[in-house]
Amino acid sequence: MDLEYLTRVVALPFRLGRPEDLPVGLAAVREEGSASARKACHYLTAAENGDTQALLEAARRARRHLGEPAHAPVGADPAESEANRDNDLAFGIVRHHGSALQLLVYASTTALTGILEVAADQGSALDEVTWATLVDGFDMTFGWIADPHRNPRPRQVRHPGRAAPPQPDDALRRWVRGHHVFMVLSQSCSLAVSALTHCAMTDDFLGAEAAAGAATRLMHACRAALRYAGDANEAQYNSEIRPTLMPPVAPPKMSGLHWRDHEALVRVLKSSTYAWRWLGESHPHCVDAFRSALDEAYSAHQGVCRHFVGDQSPSLLATARSTRAATSVLEQFRQIRLQSVPEPTTANPADGSAQ
């Protein structure tokens, strides 16, 4: 299987832990990951002006200071499906033993460095708000893990400037690195939603509010990552990205619907319904904000598919028997995911009844 295309656009391997091994609860997050996250925060907060080059240098220093993971790769893993394994293979992701949270912090510095390298060299076609939202996902990852009872204040981020004229492999580079970003943000969001569920079981409203705020900003960043990964015109898609999604290049079980880190996030969301309902009784704005972010993220995924294959075509990674349009499948998933986060009820001021 020829995956030479990866070596042209990203440094390999992309080391990441297993999402199933992430800690549960604020105390466990703080104990396992706060030291690593504080190191990352220390370097990134030094880039106060939000300049792309300054952020890049800070991310590189943080990554060097954290050091490469010392534990060995997982290898054969009964917890992963064939599609999980082939998706990792196609994007150079290697799962490692060791602290999943410390691996997440390290992988986040790697993913951030990856997109900042491109931006410093070529600028970005993303609008200013989307670029700032993308960077904010990393600030939230490091800041919330360092102190999970609070959310870091959003920084001012300078846009890297208008995108330079396209060069060979530019779109593929964003595609691969954007997927790396999406995986670490998905793990971070899983961590926050799982912490929210734990807070609901212990009636920790302060921790729950912080976890919900983190999950919301991370979900917004997931949306921005999808837009970043899909930043390609039709010619770039057909010449650079499409060949990697088809035989003989694509691994046989590769599937856009079975990313391991996204599947872990979906499982956590399914288990969080009670927590969102509980939080909505006292903090309905927190639930509304997350529902909106979740809705926008799935809409962004639909937008990427629509941009590449239109409204009527199935995904290139769909099975041969599938005729459903990719956007239709994603719309169904959007509706299902939103059911995991019930809309908060509000009290009727006249009689105190729920509406």
Q: What is the pLDDT of residue 346?
A: 59
Q: What is the pLDDT of residue 354?
A: 45
- CA 55 distance to own-chain centroid: 19
224 falls within a domain: yes
pLDDT per residue as tens digits for the range 199-228: 999 999 999 999 999 999 999 999 999 999
pLDDT per residue as tens digits for the range 290-315: 999 999 998 887 777 776 766 656 55
58 falls within a domain: yes
350 falls within a domain: no
140 falls within a domain: yes
Of the chain, the percentage scoring pLDDT greater than 70 comes to: 91
Inform me whether the pLDDT recorded for 127 exceeds 60.
Answer: yes
**Which stretch of 14-23, 232-241, 339-348 has the lowest confidence by average pLDDT?**
339-348
Q: Which amino acid is at 271?
A: S
pLDDT per residue as tens digits for the range 234-268: 899 999 999 999 888 999 999 878 899 999 999 99
Domain count, the chain: 1
What is the rounded average pLDDT for all residues in the chain? Answer: 91
348 falls within a domain: no
238 falls within a domain: yes
Query: Which pLDDT band, with edges at 50, 70 and 90, does 3 fall under?
Result: confident
C-alpha dihedral (196, 200, 202, 204), degrees to nearest 10 = 70
How confident is the model over 75-102, as a mean pLDDT?
Answer: 96
Inform me whether the pLDDT recorded for 182 exceeds 90.
Answer: yes
**Which structural domain range is residue 114 located in?**
4-339
